[in-house]
Amino acid sequence: MGFGHILLVRPFHVDVPYLEALRERWEEDCKAFIMPWGHMIPTLEDVAYLTGLPVQGEPVVGQERSDYYDDIVELLGPEFVAGRRRPIRSILLGSLSEAVGLRGRRRGPLESLDELCTGVRGALDLGDRSEERSIRIFVSYLFERLLFATQSSQMNCKFVLLLRDLAQAGRYAWGAAKLGHLFSLLPSSSRGSQSTRGFTPFLQIWGYTRFPMGRGTVVEGRQTMVPLMGRWEVAPDPRVTDRRAGDVRVALDHYPHEQVVWTPYQGEADASHPAVVTGRPLFDRHLLLLCLGTCEVLYLELVVRTLGWHQPAIEVPSLRREGHSRRQFFAEDRDWGADHGSTFAYWREGGE
């Protein structure tokens, strides 16, 4: 289904001050981080190399339903709606955690990440459900806890509909949807919030590869591991445990411009990265990133130096603003792809 590579990545510590200082530099008008040396934007090339998630394929759009009750009963099981009134538009994350055997499973104060990982693998239990239902429950859990994480205690039921046909689910551009989802949440994350929403492990390692000044290091012996996120280790260094976001802000302000890495994947063999092989035709395209009812613009023209090209000066106000979001619930069922056919077609045609 396209998630095998990301599940190989070993857990690592979240570098909270680094992420906090980074998200403060997000500029919504141009969908970019404003750095002292210019604009920087995570691209589909970054997603393919770092996560191994597919960036080429069917857009992740679907139907908006006024009530998902029958779909949840059919696809996940009646226990997810037991005792709840209709209409059902979300699933409690606690019920997903319970279904995979991980409810209440937290890292102990003296527990290492390796011990946590071993404990989670041992606790993971999907019971005697059918194979297809078990897969849907686990992938739903993966979505809401990691790839499409929010600060909500509930999961959007629209994701579940995309898992009805598991063969079709393997043809979606999950990596592109993940990037669009992250873009849509960064504005709210950067305004007074205490945490960054979206797939933050990706954002953290992306920053390390471009301007390595965080707590991460590439581990000896993992230089050929795929995806590239799996090569990193983020340990709580005793010298930086007291570091604050303010310290990172200052470090970013004074980071040597000549040390910024614009093309970090030179020397990587495409053949060892399946998502890169299939996604490369999109790496130099202006695109709209689709994730359910959200559409975000990838302004690649601001960071063409990541392709090894000359970077022209571009006035941000001259950028087009094609992005739009549709997050409200509807009183009747609606097909997002049908309502926004031109946007849907733009993705399928590969942008421009």
Bridge partners (DSSP) listed for residue 156: 90
Which residues have a Cβ under 8 Å from the Cβ of 344 and sit 6 or more positions away? 59, 61, 290, 337
pLDDT single digits (tens) 296-310: 999 999 999 999 898
Residue 58 tokens read as: 């069917």
Q: Are 25 and 245 in contact (CB under 8 A)?
A: no
Q: How far is CA 200 from the centre of its chain?
A: 7
Q: Tell me how far CA of residue 262 lies from CA of 126, 137, 303, 307, in angstroms.
A: 43, 39, 9, 8
pLDDT single digits (tens) 21-70: 999 999 988 899 999 999 999 999 999 999 999 999 999 987 778 899 99
Instruction: Identify residue 198 by its one-letter amino acid code.
Output: G
pLDDT confidence bin for 253, thresholds 50/70/90 = very high
Work out the number of other CB atoms within 10 angstroms of the CB of residue 336: 20
Average pLDDT value over all residues in the chain: 86
pLDDT at res. 12: 85
Q: What is the pTM of this model?
A: 0.90
What b/e sequence results for 248-269 when a residue is b if at least 16 CB atoms lie within 10 Å of its CB, and e otherwise? bbebbeebeeeebebebbeeee
pLDDT at res. 302: 92
Which residues have a Cβ under 8 Å from the Cβ of 203 and sit 6 or more positions away? 19, 22, 42, 182, 196
Residue whose token pair is 């990301």: 6
pLDDT at res. 288: 92
Q: What share of the chain is helix, strand, coil (3-state, %, to 5)?
A: 40, 10, 45
Question: 13-27, 123-137, 171-185: which has the highest mean pLDDT?
Answer: 171-185
pLDDT at res. 117: 84
Q: Are 53 and 276 in contact (CB under 8 A)?
A: no
Domains in the chain: boundaries: 1-60+172-312, 62-168
Q: What is the rounded CA–CA span in Å between residue 214 and residue 13?
A: 11
> Which region holds residue 267: left if phi is over 0, alpha if psi is between -120 and 50, else beta?
left
Residue 116 tokens read as: 């946590």
Bridge partners (DSSP) listed for residue 26: 33
